[in-house]
């Protein structure tokens, strides 16, 4: 059976380190890290995520600010708020929760966030830095950054000679994940819905990252024996066996099958999920260190 990669425990380690770094920053007389989270509209899943981000920020000792805006908020109003946060020296990280209502151009909103406060790593400047290997100063998107920490726990920092297959080509996960693996010397393939013979390709992967958002798409016999499997998917599916109207969370991988073949695997829930918020805290404390003219901590 595969080693189960405990994302909750690694995330707790990251949050502990962020707390200690925050205390050190205060001891040096610098401004404590400030994180502003902006949510527009009433999407229930987004509200849960945002509440959790704000709560963890407070737990880390951050100055935590949340703007909860009605769905009718205009793009102009939102851009004005971002402009004010960009200019506010008590704020080191700005996160605008996605998705945004249809009348707001999300791309424009993201590109308005000052790159040095873009703790989501979605601004072109940060995407470009990651793509060119400028990892020292880039903000890397939180989910792939967290996935990479889990991979390093199993495989070490240098992944030379390993084949990585990333299934999914989103800007939030697939593409930045592939760039991180490339920077760590993997041979990387990005697969997607148009890929020919995905099962055969997946079987070449020493590191297989599933980020498609399709429940249990990746079967056990797609996994190379001994592979490290990182399941980024969080899908809610009906679970009538638990009672009427009940549901359960599953990943993009058939966990029970893959765990019999893989060398190590992340569970869902409790794998990549907890890492996302932890890395948001890591990016925010790093931003505060840089703003204070101090060397940016690494995780
Ligand atoms: N919505 C789902 N995931 C994310 C994320 O990582 N960042 C933001 N801003 N919104 C999201």
Could you tell me the residue ranges of all domains in the chain?
Answer: 29-114, 142-274
The pLDDT value given to residue 10: 98
Write the secondary structure of the chain as one string of H (helix), E (strand) and C (coil). CCEECCHHHHHHHHHHHHHHHHHHHHHCCCCCCEEEEEEECCCHHHHHHHHHHHHHHHHCCCEEEEEEECCCCCHHHHHHHHHHHHHCCCCCEEEECCCCCCCCCHHHHHHHCCHHHCCCCCCHHHHHHHHCCCCCCCCCCHHHHHHHHHHHHHHCCCCCCCEEEEECCCCCCHHHHHHHHHHCCCEEEEECCCCCCHHHHHCCCCEEEECCCCCCCECHHHCCCCCEEEECCCEEEECHHHCCCCEEEECCECHHHHHCCCCEECCCCCCCHHHHHHHHHHHHHHHHHHHCCCCCCCC
How does pLDDT run across 232-246, given as a tens digit for each residue? 999 999 999 999 999
96 Cβ inside 6 Å of ligand 1:
yes
pTM for the model: 0.97
Among protein residues, the one whose CA lies closest to atom 9 of ligand 1: 97
CA of 98 to the centre of ligand 1 (A): 5
Among protein residues, the one whose CA lies closest to atom 1 of ligand 1: 98
98 Cβ inside 6 Å of ligand 1:
yes
CATH number (2.30.30.110, 2.40.50.360, 3.40.50.720, 3.40.50.10860) of 29-114 reads 3.40.50.10860
How does pLDDT run across 43-65, given as a tens digit for each residue? 999 999 999 999 999 999 999 99
Among 38, 95, 111, 145, which is best to mutate for testing ligand 1, by the most ligand atoms less than 8 A from CB?
95
Region 10-25 average pLDDT: 98
Closest atom of ligand 1 to CA, residue 96: 9
Would you state the CATH architecture of domain 142-274? 3-Layer(aba) Sandwich (3.40)
120 Cβ inside 6 Å of ligand 1:
yes
């Amino acid at each position: 059976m595969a080693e189960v990669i405990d994302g909750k425990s690694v995330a707790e380690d990251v949050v502990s380190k962020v707390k200690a770094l925050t205390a050190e920053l205060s001891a040096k007389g610098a401004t404590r890290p400030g994180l502003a989270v902006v949510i527009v509209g009433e999407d229930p899943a987004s509200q849960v995520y945002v509440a959790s981000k704000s709560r963890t920020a407070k737990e880390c000792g951050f100055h935590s600010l949340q703007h909860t805006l009605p769905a009718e908020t205009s793009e102009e109003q939102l851009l004005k708020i971002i402009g004010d946060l960009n200019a506010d020296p008590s704020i080191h990280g700005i996160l605008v929760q996605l998705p945004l209502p249809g009348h707001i151009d999300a791309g424009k909103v993201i590109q308005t966030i000052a790159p040095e406060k873009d703790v989501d790593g979605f601004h072109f400047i940060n995407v470009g830095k990651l793509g060119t290997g400028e990892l020292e100063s880039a903000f890397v998107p939180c989910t792939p950054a967290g996935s990479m920490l889990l991979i390093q726990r199993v495989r070490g920092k240098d992944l030379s000679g390993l084949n990585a297959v990333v299934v999914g080509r989103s800007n939030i996960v697939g593409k930045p994940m592939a760039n991180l693996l490339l920077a760590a010397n993997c041979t990387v393939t990005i697969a997607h819905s148009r890929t020919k013979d995905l099962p055969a390709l997946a079987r070449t992967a020493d590191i297989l990252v599933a980020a498609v958002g399709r429940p249990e798409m990746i079967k056990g016999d797609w996994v190379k024996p001994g592979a490290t499997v990182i399941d980024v998917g969080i899908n809610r599916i009906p679970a009538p066996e638990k009672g009427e109207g009940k549901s359960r969370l599953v990943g993009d991988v058939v966990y029970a099958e893959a765990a019999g073949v893989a060398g190590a695997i992340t569970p869902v829930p409790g794998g990549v999920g907890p890492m996302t918020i932890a890395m948001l805290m890591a990016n925010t404390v790093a931003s505060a260190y840089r703003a204070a003219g101090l060397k940016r901590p690494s995780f």
